Amino acid sequence: MIRLVPLSAALALAAGVSASAALPVGAKAPDIATQASLAGKPFPFRLSNALRNGPVVLYFYPAAFTSGCTVEAHDFAEATPEFAKLGATVIGMSADPIDTLNRFSVSDCRSKFAVGSASKQTIAAYDVKLPVLARSNRTSFVIAPDGKIVFAYTALDAAGHVDKTLAAVKAWRAAHPG
């Protein structure tokens, strides 16, 4: 008999596992080409294209419509105007299918920022796989327009991701005015 472990239980198990972003500050961020959704409308997203407009806050989260991911999405939605003032684009990434992300982008992201569907290859390239599930852990990156990672933070607790990435974008902007 096969037993399925609920997502919340698996996340609780994974929370005990120490995780860190394998892509360190200074590493070149792998390009991403995927389907994303903004305000319930799917569109093709490519990281290299987004970087032409300024830094990108790329955050991975385990699954749409789970309690921590909802809190994090609400926090990023509230902070999106401040990121935009600094010229930064915010995009969330999970292993969820695009139809789920279409709904999540409206409800939990409040149509403020895009969320993309992360393939197994993308999750592996960023080394953000949860050890227990075929999903990503909660890792936030700030990527400069040159494609280099200037900030990386991993913690399954949603608290702190927005504040830390906003501080990193502010620091990058102060060093790169205009």
The CATH number covering residue 131 comes to: 3.40.30.10
User: Cβ(11)–Cβ(62) under 8 Å?
Assistant: yes
> For the chain, how many structural domains are there in total?
1
Q: Which of 40, 46, 135, 132 is nearest to 95 (CA)?
A: 135
In a domain? residue 158: yes
Q: What is the dihedral of CA 156, 157, 160, 166, to 10 degrees?
A: 40
Q: State the residue range of the domain holding 139.
A: 35-175
The catalytic position among 11, 29, 38, 69 is 69
Alpha helices in the chain (DSSP H): 7-15, 47-51, 67-85, 98-107, 120-125, 161-175
What's the average model confidence in pLDDT over 105-126?
Answer: 95
Is 69 one of the catalytic residues? yes
Q: What is the mean pLDDT of the chain?
A: 88
In a domain? residue 14: no
Decide: pTM greater than 0.85: yes
Per-residue pLDDT tens for 132-170? 777 899 999 999 999 999 999 999 899 999 999 999 999
Given a cut of 80, is residue 7 above it in pLDDT? no
Task: Count the helix, strand and coil residues of the chain and give each as a percent rounded to the nearest 5.
Answer: 35, 25, 40
In a domain? residue 78: yes
In a domain? residue 17: no
